[in-house]
Chains A and B, each alone.
Chain A
Amino acid sequence: MQIVEIDRLSYAYSGNLVLDNISFTIDEGDILGIIGPNGAGKTTLFSCMLGLLDDYTGTIKILGEDIKKKNSKVFKGIGYIPQKKIIEQNFPATVEEIVSLGITTTGKVSKEKITLALETAGLLVQKDRRVGELSGGQQQRVLIAKAMVNNPKLLILDEPVTGIDLEMQNKFYSLLKRLNQKNNITIIWASHDLDAVNRFATSVACINRSMFFHGKTYEFFENPDLLKAYSESSMQAHMHLHNHTHRG
């Protein structure tokens, strides 16, 4: 079963084409690593998929439904972990309270669901701690647990481990792998870490405004020409960004 079907997706911002004619599908149970240089359009692609941007052309179907229809059932089937950002230290909420936010219906929350999500993310001991007191890696696991309480079919993660130490990164990836294998959750994950993508993803999509590779992970990493092309495009994007920063 195809969980995501994207067909000829294009998006322009202030006259600049950010995504150009992107098409791909993701099968149930896949872990798709999306790689691409800074400014390649990864976050924009996610914003379109999550319904945060809807003035794009082409179609995005998730769980068989066109995302533009804003079907709340579809959104409940998606868990989203944004780029790591610092949760305000003084925000008055415990880990358990944040995880309970994942249940978006009104009325009583299911304690069992919350406990299970906390257990899965390895946070049961910290459930009464304030979320702002936790380390970056632990905060990301809180967001995973929050996404898990709705039993999502699809997890979308946007560079979730940036700025987190290596040990916590590995724990985080192991958790993702466990969720994928035990709960059959399909995962789309944007990353700059080629090594992690090589180890954990089952397929790879490489974008730089347009799609220049989509296939199995080994097909990408065992092809020196593709790797070389990716490094060159990353370097160009880095130089471009560097020049802009210095001019600015």
Chain B
Amino acid sequence: MILEVLEFGFIQRALIAGASVAITSSVIGLFLVLRRNSLFGDALSHAAFGGIAIGLATNIYPLWTGLTLSILGALGITKLRQSAKIPADATVAILLSSGLALGILLISLSGGFTLDLFSFLFGSIMLVSVEDTLAILAMTGVILSIIILLYRQLMYITFDEEQARVSGLPISKLNYLFIILASVAVIVSMRLVGILLVSSLLVIPNVTALLFNKGFKKTALISVSISIFSVVIGIAISYAANLAPAGTIVLVSTTVFLTVLAARYYSKKKQIVKKLEEARS
């Protein structure tokens, strides 16, 4: 039965594209979570929503307009944080609500929601074409290559930006490059889970991985594994039970998080009991 299902072209594409997105989003997400910027992905995806609405209204390929607006918005709020000293969470709120507002405005002007817009809002992993899959693979390759090349520098900035600056790293350039990579990762992830659930892919696998108390590389590997597991199992369950794939993937990811959290709580409790017993005897 499983082998038969795997012979379907759309399932193969969904799994390949899904696994690629899982890798990209968890790698980028680790830096966002550690910089206390978990909602940045949400802001980027909502800015992209405005861009996609522009694309649909003007008949330009919506992913390009989405990507452009997402990058411009992200660079804009970064500049705002640096020059106007506006708190990070406030700038995220500005970008998030402005992107959404632009999208709603354009939709109302063009006479309401279309099927295309729905697929961007809620994801359409089962509908990815061969071209989409290749594009996702190419973008994943580019993002991963850059992250692997600059991994130590990005980790340094995440650990302590001031010390990284003193050591001579070009902080502004690296930050802008990271923002562009994050925007691309968000656009790629939107295909899988949609604008509304993008940040879950960036955040949940990483928060789960942090519970394992490992070093940086191991945490990244655990996060990627959890992310791929959630996507593959999510796609399988959604196909078997005829459920929405995006929601299923995110709920699988949340279930993994809760399971690890419970296991950690149980193991800590066991350790305390053991120590108390040792102290008594």
Contact = CB atoms under 8 A, between A and B. Distances in A.
Interface of A: 50-52, 70, 72, 74-76, 78, 80, 82, 90-94, 96-98, 100-104, 106, 109, 128, 130, 143, 150
- The 3 closest A-B CB pairs, nearest first, are A75-B168, A94-B215, A92-B219
Contacts of B169: 104
B167 A76 contact: yes
Contacts of B160: 82
B159 A104 contact: no
Contact of B216 (A50, A78, A97): A97
B166 interface: yes
Contacts of A102: 167
Interface of B: 34, 149-150, 152-153, 155-156, 159-160, 162-169, 209-210, 213-219
Contacts of B155: 93, 97, 101
A83 to B, nearest CB: 11
21 contacts: A52-B162, A75-B167, A75-B168, A76-B167, A76-B168, A80-B166, A90-B213, A91-B34, A92-B209, A94-B216, A97-B155, A98-B159, A101-B155, A101-B159, A104-B152, A104-B167, A104-B169, A106-B152, A106-B153, A109-B152, A143-B163
Contact of A92 (B149, B162, B168, B210): B210
A80 to B, nearest CB: 5
Contacts of B168: 70, 72, 74-76, 104
A52 B162 CA distance: 8
B147 to A, nearest CB: 12
Contacts of A78: 166
B156 A104 contact: yes
A32 to B, nearest CB: 18
B153 A82 contact: no
Contacts of A103: 152
A100 B159 CA distance: 12
Contacts of B152: 100-101, 103-104, 106, 109
Given A101-B155, A104-B156, A130 B163 contact: no
Contacts of B164: 101
Counting chain A CB atoms within 10 Å of each CB, the highest count among B152, B167, B216 belongs to B167
Contacts of B216: 92-94, 97
A93 B209 CA distance: 13
B159 A93 contact: yes
B166 A92 contact: no
Nearest to B30: A92
Given A92-B210, A92-B214, A94-B215, A50 B153 contact: no
A50 B166 contact: yes
A92 B214 CA distance: 6
Nearest to B36: A88
A222 B215 CA distance: 50
B159 A90 contact: no
Contact of B166 (A52, A90, A93, A96): A52
A79 to B, nearest CB: 9
B219 A80 contact: no
Contacts of B215: 92-94, 96-97, 128, 130
Contacts of A96: 215
Nearest to B158: A91
A90 B210 CA distance: 7
Given A50-B166, A75-B166, A106 B159 contact: no
A80 B214 contact: no
A151 B21 CA distance: 41
B163 A82 contact: yes
Contacts of A143: 163
A194 B156 CA distance: 33
A143 B166 CA distance: 13
